[in-house]
Amino acid sequence: MSYQLTFAERFVYDATESGITVPTILTSGARSVHADAKIDTGSQFCIFAREIGERLGLDIESGLPKEMGTLVGQMTTFGHEVTLETFGFLFSTVVFFAQQRKLPRNLLGRAGWLQMIRLAVIDYDREIYLSLYDDPSA
């Protein structure tokens, strides 16, 4: 049995980087910040560096507190509603900002990003294909 899939966007990523890096824009009010983020299908939430939230003018600790388990232990984060943009797709969603500074990478997780899109990865060719989840043409 075979299946046919259709996607709105195709992106070739840099295989020399660790992970699959996606150009991302976060917006809150009139402020926008460009940031690279890694696709992480194992992460339940989208997590970004504290400094990005501060550049958006957010009071980090006023957000929804959430303790998250990582490979190296627990991490305190705070959720804020922002507009997240990748590949021209915009989502009003909650992302979490780390309490500590200098988070080594930003993550696009399941809630807030992956559940909003259809995604295919052809790692051998360094390609990802994306469409909005509810795109009727996909």
Whole-number mean pLDDT of the chain? 94
Residue 65 lies in a domain: yes
Residue 138 lies in a domain: no
CATH number at residue 90: 2.40.70.10
Q: What is the DSSP string of 15-71?
A: TTSSS-EEEEEEEETTEEEEEEEEE-TT-SB-EE-HHHHHHTT--GGGSEEEEEEET
Residue 137: other Cβ atoms inside 10 A: 8
Domain count, the chain: 1
Residue 2 lies in a domain: no
Q: Quote the CA–CA distance of 135 and 129 in Å, as a whole number.
A: 13
Q: Could you list the residue range(s) of the whole structural domain that residue 75 is in?
A: 9-131
59-69 pLDDT, tens digit each: 999 999 999 98
Residue 115 lies in a domain: yes
Residue 74 lies in a domain: yes
pLDDT at residue 130 greater than cutoff 90: yes
Residue 96 lies in a domain: yes
